[in-house]
């Protein structure tokens, strides 16, 4: 009985995700779903991306949090195209939440939508939002064991970002161990190492985004 309910929820989500995907495709919008634990640097990476690419691409942002408009306020300083979703305690975004947020964005104007999922390495990866790519951000201060402890998000992501590499020198983060574990879980996926604080490696990320853009 319980399993049947969960299957229905996921089926309903999948159907809505396909509707989102069609809308995004019809409008040639690249959609990125950013996944990470709280504090790994999703919002900072979004801000750096808007600052760098705004002369080339119009970027919309959907901010998912259980409460507050704190991150959306930060992003509003750089673009008007931002919508906050408050999940009211739910620990992930689903496709219906994204569909109602998208209604408030001028989709025909946008080239890229970045979705900042709720900070949580566990369940957000299980919900298709209709995005083109899932991207997991792990940061040096979280430790090198995240791929070992939370495999699904590393397996299902299309790109792995290691953020806050400026902290490498003062931490005992084992880069070789992290990369080995990631490549065991997800041999196809690229790892981009960067620091939003110092700017190291950001060009690799900007080029990745531009390379995936549809127009
Ligand atoms: Mg954030
Ligand atoms: Zn959840």
pLDDT (tens digit, 9 = 90+) per residue, 139-148? 999 999 999 9
The CA distances from residue 183 to 21, 56, 61, 149, 180, in Å, are: 28, 33, 30, 15, 5
| Band (1; pLDDT cuts 50, 70, 90) | low
Q: What's residue 6's pLDDT?
A: 81
Query: In the predicted model, is pLDDT for residue 168 greater than 80?
Result: yes
Query: In the predicted model, is pLDDT for residue 184 greater than 70?
Result: yes
Q: For the chain, give every domain's residue range.
A: 2-212
User: In this structure, which ligand is nearest to the CA of 36?
Assistant: 1
Query: In the predicted model, is pLDDT for residue 94 greater than 90?
Result: yes
The mean pLDDT value for 56-82 works out to 96
| Distance (Å, whole) CA 99 – CA 94 | 9
Q: Could you give the percent of the chain with pLDDT greater than 70?
A: 100
Q: Is 20 helix (H, G, I), strand (E, B) or coil?
A: helix
Query: In the predicted model, is pLDDT for residue 151 greater than 90?
Result: yes
CA of 189 to the centre of ligand 2 (A): 24
CA of 46 to the centre of ligand 1 (A): 9
Q: Is 120 helix (H, G, I), strand (E, B) or coil?
A: coil
CA of 40 to the centre of ligand 1 (A): 8
Mean pLDDT across the chain: 96
CA of 44 to the centre of ligand 1 (A): 7
User: In this structure, which ligand is nearest to the CA of 43?
Assistant: 1
CA of 4 to the centre of ligand 1 (A): 33
Query: In the predicted model, is pLDDT for residue 86 greater than 70?
Result: yes
Report H helices in 35-174.
42-53, 70-76, 95-102, 146-149, 151-156
CA of 105 to the centre of ligand 2 (A): 24
Report H helices in the chain.
2-26, 42-53, 70-76, 95-102, 146-149, 151-156, 175-185, 202-212
Q: Which CATH superfamily is domain 2-212 in?
A: P-loop containing nucleotide triphosphate hydrolases (3.40.50.300)
């Amino acid at each position: 009985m319980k399993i049947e309910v969960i299957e229905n929820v996921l089926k309903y989500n999948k159907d809505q995700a396909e509707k989102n995907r069609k809308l995004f495709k019809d409008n040639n919008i690249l959609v990125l779903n950013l996944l990470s634990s709280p504090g790994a640097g999703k919002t900072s990476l979004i801000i750096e991306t808007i600052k760098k690419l705004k002369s080339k691409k119009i970027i919309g942002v959907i901010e998912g949090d259980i409460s507050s408009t704190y991150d959306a306020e930060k992003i509003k300083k750089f673009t008007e195209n931002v919508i906050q979703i408050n999940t009211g305690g739910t620990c992930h975004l689903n496709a219906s939440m994204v569909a109602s947020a998208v209604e408030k964005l001028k989709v025909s104007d946008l080239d890229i939508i970045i979705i900042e999922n709720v900070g949580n390495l566990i369940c957000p990866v299980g919900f298709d939002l209709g995005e083109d790519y899932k991207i997991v951000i792990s940061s040096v201060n979280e430790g090198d064991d995240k791929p070992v402890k939370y495999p699904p998000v590393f397996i299902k992501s299309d790109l792995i970002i290691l953020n806050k590499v400026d902290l490498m020198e003062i931490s005992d983060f084992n880069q070789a161990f992290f990369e080995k574990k990631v490549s065991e879980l997800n041999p196809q996926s690229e790892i981009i190492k960067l620091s939003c604080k110092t700017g190291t490696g950001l060009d690799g990320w900007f080029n990745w985004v531009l390379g995936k853009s549809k127009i």
